[in-house]
A and B are shown apart, each in its own frame.
Chain A
Amino acid sequence: MSHTLAMEWQKLRPFGKTSRTVALTIGLAVSVSAIVAAAMAANAKHMTVADRASFDSIGISLQGVNAAVLAIAAFGVLSMTREYSTGMISVTFLAQPRRLRVLAAKLLTHSTVAGIAGLGACLAAFVVGQVLLGTVGLDNGWSSAHLPGALAGGVVYLLLLCAWGVALGALLRTSAAAISWMASLLVVAPVIVQILPPSVVHRVERWLPSQIGSGAMSAHSDPHLFTPWAGLLVLGGYVVLTLVAAGWRMARTDP
């Protein structure tokens, strides 16, 4: 297994390209968080005392993670689909004929990168968000007891989405199919769900990956959503199911 890990790690090198992924993830998180926080700060003068009391300073600061997740998921997807589309996967299987080990090594190495990028993205987005919200005194995130949980939730959310990307890429093998599915689940599904009658929305919404992510990064609990860690567990379940399907197809169907 150590050789397989070394192979996948070496494929990520030279780190120029990989560090661009990390930079893109952090950049997306910071810029979207900054826009949302700035918009909130601009509206602060219209807020009532009650509004201020219930203001989710952490959740708003981490809004950018919802954009960063697209970069991380694509990073995971492309790790597999680029090998299948170029045919390089057969060279990989020549070097390591045990295909499930290749999948495991991909998962581990890419999750490591996603973990670093995720931590950077969550921290940077939070700091930038708090600074901007601080201009109107809404930077109470620093002192919140929810802070460590929300940051950890954000990192785990990004990690899981990277793993899900690897699994979807291994299952579908083409970039177009895997990215379309990923984007549909993360971006399109939440929009479609909103069209449904409210009673249905409340039952369906909690199962959406994007809602699970937002829930994990929020200081507030929504009775219609899973609790942060239960939600991430559900998301982990999706990842495991997809991985099982991907592993089955990888072992059974030749490249």
Chain B
Amino acid sequence: MIEVRQLTKRYGPQTVVNDLSFGVQPGRVTGFLGPNGSGKTTTARMILGLTEPDEGSATVNGRTYRELRRPICEIGALINAGAVMPSKTAIDHLRWLAAANGINRRRADEALGMVGLEAVAGRKVGGFSLGMKQRLGIAAALIGDPPVLIFDEPINGLDPEGIRWIRQFMQELATQGRTVFVSSHLMSEMALTASELVVIGQGRLIAAESVEAFTARADSSVRLRSPQLEEIVVALAIEGASLWRNGDALEIVGFSIEQIGALCARVGAIVYELSPQRASLEDAFMQLTATVCEYVPTSRGAAA
């Protein structure tokens, strides 16, 4: 497992990671979510001992990265898939990594097999596509058979087939009881891959909870279409509902479908559509990171 406590990193006047604390548990895929530039990579690099934190600590199985004897046997990481010597062959790249932690040479072939690159083992990495480099990076992360894995933006450059593969692969690794921590700026991708989330924005923790709990945070609304919107708006406003106009429909928050249906019947309005709107992970993320007010107030004002 990974534990991050009060982690802080400043670059000049800018605080990139700000008093960040969270834990990542084994046995499930934990998504690390945040917009570009929110401090995800810096946090990952601090966990991996590549960047020195200004304050706080990050530990893997209770020890800081630099205290690990054979680090790549305890935590595997994919940080930058391009970080390979172009003149080396795929197998040679894995062989020196194996040698570095006293891992059996045969693991290099096994790891290549796990990511489906055995056919290009002897080819130079310089000629690899980004997707192939990502796979090689994942093989490098797996070479020490570590119980903890960190993948930083692993789906960059992968084709749809590759994305599906990596999604299943990460879930499989978690099922084996490993800790899998995956960062991404693509919320929809995380909704499909992760069961737990760590969400940050501008270096601060926004949420650390399950995907369901996070999605539930976003207000679910009810959508209403009617030729008599004006009457309904007045009636709802009297009841104290939050609402705004969305095209030819109304979005209403804080009332159930039953309550709204009864209210429409009371004012005698025709209803074309009355449907629950489930907030997506993306909505939840936008609401919690950006200022929600940006698009709500104007339409609310128009409705009132």
Which A residues contact B (CB, under 8 angstroms)?
3-4, 6-7, 9-11, 13-14, 17, 82-83, 86-98, 254-255
A95-B97 contact in complex given A3-B102, A17-B87, C-beta closer than 8 Å: yes
> Within 8 Å CB of B61, what residues of A?
none
- Asked whether B65 lies within 8 Å of A95 as measured between CB atoms, the reply is no
Interface of B is mostly: loop
Query: Which residue of A95, A97, A254 contacts B66 across the interface (Cβ within 8 Å)?
Result: A97
Tell me the minimal C-beta distance from A113 to chain B in angstroms: 16
If A94-B71, A94-B72 are given as contacts, then 9 extra A-B residue pairs at C-beta distance below 8 Å, sorted by A number, are A3-B70, A10-B95, A10-B98, A13-B95, A92-B100, A94-B50, A94-B79, A95-B100, A254-B45
Tell me the minimal C-beta distance from B262 to chain A in angstroms: 62
> Within 8 Å CB of A91, what residues of B?
79, 83-84, 97, 140
- Count contacts on B: residues with CB < 8 A to the other chain: 31
Q: Is B187 an interface residue (CB 8 A)?
A: no
Q: Nearest 8 pairs between A and B by C-beta?
A: A7-B100, A87-B83, A95-B100, A10-B96, A10-B99, A6-B99, A97-B66, A97-B49
> Within 8 Å CB of B65, what residues of A?
97
A14–B88 alpha-carbon span in the complex (Å) = 9
A6–B95 alpha-carbon span in the complex (Å) = 10
Tell me the minimal C-beta distance from B71 to chain A in angstroms: 6
Q: Is B77 an interface residue (CB 8 A)?
A: yes
> Within 8 Å CB of B85, what residues of A?
82-83, 86, 88
Q: Is B15 an interface residue (CB 8 A)?
A: no
A13-B92 contact in complex given A90-B50, A93-B50, A94-B50, C-beta closer than 8 Å: yes
Which B residues contact A (CB, under 8 angstroms)?
45, 48-52, 65-66, 68, 70-72, 77, 79-80, 82-87, 92, 95-102, 140
A139–B236 alpha-carbon span in the complex (Å) = 110
Tell me the minimal C-beta distance from B190 to chain A in angstroms: 24
Tell me the minimal C-beta distance from B112 to chain A in angstroms: 16
- Asked whether B83 lies within 8 Å of A6 as measured between CB atoms, the reply is no
Query: Which residue of A3, A87, A90 contacts B101 across the interface (Cβ within 8 Å)?
Result: A3
- Asked whether B79 lies within 8 Å of A6 as measured between CB atoms, the reply is no
> Within 8 Å CB of A10, what residues of B?
92, 95-96, 98-100
Tell me the minimal C-beta distance from A84 to chain B in angstroms: 10
Q: What are 17 A-to-B residue pairs whose CB atoms are below 8 Å?
A: A3-B102, A7-B97, A7-B100, A10-B92, A83-B85, A87-B80, A87-B82, A88-B83, A88-B85, A90-B79, A91-B83, A91-B84, A92-B100, A94-B50, A95-B101, A96-B100, A97-B71
Tell me the minimal C-beta distance from B72 to chain A in angstroms: 5
> Within 8 Å CB of B70, what residues of A?
3
A95–B281 alpha-carbon span in the complex (Å) = 36
A11–B99 alpha-carbon span in the complex (Å) = 9
> Within 8 Å CB of A92, what residues of B?
100
Query: Which residue of A7, A14, A88 contacts B99 across the interface (Cβ within 8 Å)?
Result: A7
- Asked whether B83 lies within 8 Å of A86 as measured between CB atoms, the reply is yes
> Within 8 Å CB of A255, what residues of B?
50
- Asked whether A254 lies within 8 Å of B52 as measured between CB atoms, the reply is yes
Tell me the minimal C-beta distance from B11 to chain A in angstroms: 11
> Within 8 Å CB of A98, what residues of B?
66
> Within 8 Å CB of A89, what residues of B?
83
Tell me the minimal C-beta distance from A175 to chain B in angstroms: 13
Question: From B49, which residue of chain A is reached at the shortest CB distance?
Answer: A97
A83–B85 alpha-carbon span in the complex (Å) = 7
A94–B86 alpha-carbon span in the complex (Å) = 19
- Asked whether B50 lies within 8 Å of A95 as measured between CB atoms, the reply is no
- Asked whether B66 lies within 8 Å of A94 as measured between CB atoms, the reply is no
Query: Which residue of A83, A88, A94 contacts B77 across the interface (Cβ within 8 Å)?
Result: A94
- Asked whether A86 lies within 8 Å of B82 as measured between CB atoms, the reply is yes
